[in-house]
Amino acid sequence: MNENEAFEISHDNFLVSKQDDLEHTEMVLTTLNKLPTRQKETIYLKIYKGLNYEEISEVMNINYQVVRNLLCQALKLLKSFT
């Protein structure tokens, strides 16, 4: 392909990619729902809200190390479910 040619993605490739994205999202949500509540909360606060461990410990009113342990356990479980 030279620089003057336009890069095109076929409609079929686009649809397949979107379907793959949707299936991946559904798998992640299903897997997250298998986690215990406190582990889900730590994942939400860390990944979706961008809080650090100290902030999560304050929000959840638990020890800093407990936050780290919960997050570590949650990630291990997520890996084992997939």
For 11-34, what is each residue's pLDDT tens digit? 777 777 777 778 878 887 888 888
Using DSSP's 3-state secondary structure scheme, residue 7 falls into: coil
**For the whole model, what pTM was predicted?**
0.67
Count of the separate structural domains present in the chain: 1
12 located within any domain: no
- 41-74, pLDDT tens digit by residue? 999 999 999 999 999 999 999 999 999 999 999 9
Query: Between helices 11-32 and 64-81, what is the axis angle to 10°?
Result: 130
29 located within any domain: no
8 located within any domain: no
Domain range holding 78?
36-82
22 located within any domain: no
58 located within any domain: yes
Q: What is the DSSP letter of 20?
A: H
